[in-house]
């Protein structure tokens, strides 16, 4: 990995040269990234179909469009974010002025996952680019066609001192993590994320971990009136939940993982979920990423009663989006993040019981609450922890460039997207400036009487 060490050194020199300090030095790369994506759009869409079975429509909306929106938002707001912030100075430093500048952190290592291999590679990369950093991207080997296209696309568009792609397996990732980057950004499993955090700690630099977790859905009312409102909107509720699980064959870190529903609404919800999923089924439904993951998800089908779906196409690694009921609380499907098209549905007697079930799992990236009662929203918000709480919908909160994205506890640390990305990949630097006159004598030894110091400290 001596070549990689030299690459990191070259990237640090590139940032230190001042090439990325100006507004133009940050906007031009963002424009170049969008142009490169436009030029390689067909190849990217074909690669996403090859690796994950994504239709061109789903791939464009869930992968490419979001990156372009991120770049446009960063481009528009950079000038304002880059301006130094004036701050007051203490009495001891008057007359004087103080500012907080945000400066590029340096060279960033981005280790991307396979489930959204374009979006989750290029979105943090765009944020680091806007912050004035240089970047090494390690795409996932489990989406090899996409990784190859990304490497060619970014190599053609940028000098390696600014953006470099290093392909390889987990061993390559581990070797990269030994290099002296200035920031580590990882999206993936908690197990690997903790190893990345250990590597960052060796260098004494920050790390951002975007992990996963079992994102719960609660469907609850606060009485007969609220329950009746939910009954009238049950088709909409089911359609939104089903869409969140259907997207990318359930291989989404913020996908609904399981549903906790009050018992009076259990049967109506199951009926409407089955209807929605039946309408969603089509030939371009995504496939599971590889045989290992396919086998793991298929095992879950035997852990409960299949209420809808359950079809398996081994040749294409496809599993129908499946509703699973009658589950043992200790079953594997209720312990592990599913990350596939299986949705357990569990009836609960009370909201308190549902909250206890949610809190029995580590903190997820998101909690989803479907309700017509604001009191239910507040009880869920106050009594659970997650990176986000989305009410009466699922997943859509990640589409906003204005909302920071990230987890808490076991689902990750750090936030990015939009302004949060700019803040993440820059470092605050305080600048305090004074003249050489006047120079008051009371700050120097021998110090004034204690009474004067107490009076002075009031200002």
The beta-strand segments (E) located in 149-223 are 163-165, 183-187, 207-210, 215-219
- Kindly state the helix (H) or strand (E) to which residue 313 belongs, with its residue range: strand 312-313
The number of helix segments (H) and strand segments (E) in the chain equals 18, 18
Active-site hit among 210, 262, 320, 337: 210
Q: At residue 340, what are phi and psi to the nearest 5 degrees?
A: -165, 180
Write b or e for each residue in 348-378: b if 16 or more Cβ atoms lie within 10 A of its Cβ, otherwise e: beebeebbebbeebbbbbbbbbbbbbeebbe
Sign of the CA dihedral 381, 210, 301, 277?
positive
Residue 2: Cβ within 10 Å count: 6
User: Cα angle at 218 between 120 and 222, to 5 degrees?
Assistant: 145
**Catalytic pick among 71, 253, 348, 390:** 253
Say which residue the tokens 């979920």 belong to: 273
* 23, 82 contact by CB (below 8 A): yes
Query: How would DSSP label each residue in 340-376?
Result: SSEEEEEEESSHHHHHHHHHTSPPPSEEEEE-S-HHH
Q: Is 253 a catalytic residue?
A: yes
Nearest-CA neighbor of 137 among 11, 17, 40, 37? 11
For this structure, is 46 an active site residue?
Answer: no
Give the residue numbers marked as catalytic. Answer: 210, 253
């Amino acid at each position: 990995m001596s070549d990689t060490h030299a690459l990191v050194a070259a990237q640090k020199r590139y940032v230190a040269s001042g090439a990325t300090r100006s507004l133009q030095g940050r906007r031009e790369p963002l424009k170049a990234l969008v142009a490169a994506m436009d030029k390689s759009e067909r190849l990217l869409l074909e690669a996403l179909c090859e690796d994950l079975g994504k239709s061109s429509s789903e791939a464009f909306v869930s992968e490419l469009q979001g990156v372009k929106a991120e770049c446009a938002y960063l481009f528009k707001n950079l000038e304002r974010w880059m301006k130094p912030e004036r701050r007051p100075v203490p009495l001891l430093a008057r007359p004087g002025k103080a500012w907080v500048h945000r400066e590029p952190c340096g060279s960033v290592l981005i280790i991307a996952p396979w489930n959204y291999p374009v979006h989750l590679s290029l979105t943090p990369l765009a944020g680091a680019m806007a912050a004035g950093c240089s970047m090494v991207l390690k795409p996932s080997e489990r989406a090899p066609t996409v990784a190859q296209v990304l490497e060619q696309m970014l190599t053609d568009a940028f000098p390696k001192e600014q953006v470099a792609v290093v392909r390889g397996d987990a061993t390559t990732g581990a070797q990269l993590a030994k290099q002296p980057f200035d920031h580590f950004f990882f999206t993936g499993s908690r197990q690997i994320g903790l190893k990345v955090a250990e590597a960052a700690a060796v260098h004494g630099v920050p790390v951002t971990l975007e992990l996963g977790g079992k994102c719960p859905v609660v469907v609850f009312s606060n009485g007969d009136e609220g329950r009746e409102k939910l009954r009238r909107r049950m088709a909409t509720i089911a359609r939104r939940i089903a869409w969140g699980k259907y997207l990318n064959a359930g291989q989404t870190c913020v996908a609904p993982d399981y549903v906790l529903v009050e018992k009076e609404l259990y049967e109506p919800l199951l009926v409407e979920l089955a209807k929605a999923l039946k309408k969603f089924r089509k030939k371009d439904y995504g496939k599971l990423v590889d045989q290992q993951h396919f086998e793991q998800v298929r095992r879950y089908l035997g852990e409960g009663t299949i209420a809808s779906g359950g079809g398996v196409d081994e040749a294409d690694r496809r599993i129908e989006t499946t509703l699973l009921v009658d589950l043992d609380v200790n079953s594997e499907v209720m312990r592990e993040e599913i990350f596939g098209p299986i949705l357990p549905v569990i009836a609960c007697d009370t909201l308190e019981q549902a909250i206890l079930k949610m809190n029995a799992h580590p903190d997820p990236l998101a909690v989803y609450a479907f309700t017509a009662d604001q009191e239910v929203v507040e009880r869920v918000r106050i009594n659970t922890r997650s990176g986000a709480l989305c009410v009466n919908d699922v997943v859509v909160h990640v589409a906003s460039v204005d909302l920071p994205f990230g987890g808490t506890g076991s689902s990750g640390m750090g936030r990015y997207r939009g302004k949060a990305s700019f803040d993440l990949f820059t470092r605050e630097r305080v600048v305090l400036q004074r003249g050489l006159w006047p120079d008051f004598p009371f700050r120097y030894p021998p110090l004034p009487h204690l009474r004067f110091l107490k009076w002075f400290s009031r200002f």
